[in-house]
Amino acid sequence: MVLKPQDVFVLLKLVAIGRERWSYNTLAVALAMSPSEVHAAVKRALAAHLAVRQQDRVVPNVRNLEEFLVQGLKYVFIPDRGEMTRGMPTAHAGPPLLEYLISDGEPPPVWPDPDGEVRGQAFSPLYKTAPKAARKDRQLYELLVLIDAIRSGRAREREMAARELKKRLQRYGDAK
């Protein structure tokens, strides 16, 4: 069994929706994926102990997920960078980090997206449908931005992103 980027994408969506009830179909629509892709992602997340079954539900295993996102993600899902393009800001250029960091004058990292409003350097999203899903869910967008900063940022950016990500995962864990 090998983890895939969409496994983390689905888990982040579960964190974003909190303790709401969900189905494979509702997640598939929200993430612009097929229900079978979502089902396979959940199955792999369970096998990797990044999610657990609680009664009749599958929920993120916050402790293991945090450890993987903060310590391992940058080694497993390395982003590709490309040419200048239009897209959605991510990493240090997206919310919530944008308000804390001063621009260094370099083009911001963006997920290529024809509907994007910012011009910057192409930065591959964790999963191909991330821009579409993020436009519909601010919480998910911010979680994806934080993990992009961990995947690619400088030490200060990674540290700030990890601290904020831990807070958000803790809030999810406390909401049991």
For the stretch 111-125, pLDDT in tens is 999 999 999 999 999
For the stretch 52-97, pLDDT in tens is 999 889 999 999 999 999 999 999 999 999 999 999 999 999 999 9
Kindly indicate the confidence band of residue 102, based on its pLDDT and cuts at 50, 70 and 90.
low
Secondary structure of residue 103 in the 3-state scheme: coil
Secondary structure of residue 55 in the 3-state scheme: coil
- Radius of gyration, alpha carbons of the chain: 15
What does the pLDDT average to over 7-35? 96
Q: How far is CA 152 from CA 7, 70, 74, in A?
A: 19, 12, 7
Per the CB < 8 A criterion, the answer to whether 109 and 152 are in contact is yes
Per-residue pLDDT, 176? 59
pTM for this model (two decimals): 0.95
Q: How far is CA 124 from CA 121, 131, 140, in A?
A: 10, 10, 16
Q: What's the CA gap between 58 and 47, in Å, rounded? A: 12
Q: How far is CA 62 from CA 19, 67, 101, 122, in A?
A: 13, 8, 27, 30
Secondary structure of residue 138 in the 3-state scheme: helix
82's tokens: 């490309």
* Domains defined along the chain, listed by start: 5-75 (1.10.10.10), 79-174 (no CATH)
